[in-house]
Amino acid sequence: MVLYICRWILVSLVVASQSSVTPAVASQGATFTVENKCQYTVWPGISGNGISTTGFELQKGESRTITAPPSWSGQLWGRTRCAVNSSTGNFNCVTGDCGSGMVSCFGFKPAPPTTFLELRLEESNENGALDYFYVNVADGYNLPLLVVPQGDTGANCSMAGCVMDLNGFCPTELRLSDGRGEVVACKGPCLTLQQEKYCCTERSTCRPTLYSRVFKDACPHAHIYPYDHASVIIPRQTSQLLGQVMKESLASKMAHY
C-alpha cells in the first residue's frame, strides 16, 4: 500500500494498459483528470459528496476532468462490462458495480472485488495543504489503476497504484469469471476465504500470506492487506483505512513503468 502526501495530483486510472485521471488545482478546490488507457470502455465511479460527477462513461482513450471541493474525501474506481438491463432498466456492471442502478454512483461504493483509489484532499492551513491517496486492492482487484501526481508535489509525493494485470496472475480460487470463462476480477482472500490469516483483525499476528505475495508481486505499490505497511503516516484526521496505510518512496521503483 502506499500513502502519498501531495498537493497537485494527477490520477491515472489504468485499465488494461493504462488510463489516467489528471488533477490540476484551483483555489476553489481541486480538479483531477481521469483518463481511460484501456483498450475498451470503462465507467469510472466516484463516491463522496460535493464532487462534480459521481459516475460517467469513458471510451478508450477518452479523459474527463473532475472538480472536487477544497476539502474532500472519497473513492474512485473503474467499472467494466456495464450495460442497461433490458428487463429492469437498471444500469449494471460486472465489476465495480456501485448498486445505484444508474451511471452515477451518488454516495454508493463499489462492490468488491474492485481496485479503488482512496483520496483525501485537505484545505490549506498553517502547515500548508496535504492530500493523501493510495490505491487499495485489499478487497480485490478488477483493473489497473495508477495515480500520477502533478505539479509541486513535494518530496514524498509520487506515483501510486497497480499497473499489472492481476487478473492474469489470480489464483484459481480467487478468480471471478464471466459467463465465458474469462477472468474479469481477482477476489480478495479475506472476503472470499474468511480466515483470520487473510483478514488480519489482530495486528500482532498479521503476516504476509501466499495470496498477499501474489498481489504484492503484481501490485508492489498498492495497499494489499490490512497491516500492509513498513511505516505509517498518521494523517491529521485519521480514518481507519488511512491509519493502516504506509508511506514509501516510489520514484525509483516506478521508473520501469
Ligand X SMILES: *[C@@H]1O[C@H](CO)[C@@H](O)[C@H](O)[C@H]1NC(C)=O
Closest CB to ligand X among residues 97, 165: 97
**Residue number, nearest CB to ligand X:** 85
Rounded to a whole number of angstroms, the minimum distance from the CB of residue 238 to ligand X is: 17
Rounded to a whole number of angstroms, the minimum distance from the CB of residue 88 to ligand X is: 5
Strand order across the beta sheet in which 29-35 lies: 24-26, 29-35, 63-68
Rounded to a whole number of angstroms, the minimum distance from the CB of residue 202 to ligand X is: 26
Rounded to a whole number of angstroms, the minimum distance from the CB of residue 131 to ligand X is: 12
| Cα–Cα distance, 45 to 39 (Å, whole number) | 18
Closest CB to ligand X among residues 132, 215: 132
Cα dihedral 174, 178, 181, 182 sign: negative
Residue 72 CA from chain centroid, whole number: 16
Closest CB to ligand X among residues 29, 154: 154
Which residues here bind ligand X, judged by CB under 6 A?
5, 85, 87-88, 154-156
Q: What is the secondary structure of the chain as a DSSP string? A: ---EEESSEEEE---TT---B--EEETTEEEEEEE--SSS-BEEEEESSS-S-SB--B-TT-EEEEEE-SSEEEEEEEEEEEEE-TTT--EEEEES--SSSSS--TTPPPPSS--EEEEEE---BTTB--EEEEEE-TTEESS-EEEEE-SS--TT---EEE-S-GGGG--GGGEEE-TTS-EEEEE-HHHHH--HHHH--SGGG----HHHHHHHHH-TBSB-STT--SSB---SS--HHHHT-B----TTGGGG-
Rounded to a whole number of angstroms, the minimum distance from the CB of residue 36 to ligand X is: 23
Closest CB to ligand X among residues 155, 255: 155
Closest CB to ligand X among residues 41, 156: 156
Closest CB to ligand X among residues 91, 141: 91
Rounded to a whole number of angstroms, the minimum distance from the CB of residue 231 to ligand X is: 6
Rounded to a whole number of angstroms, the minimum distance from the CB of residue 213 to ligand X is: 25
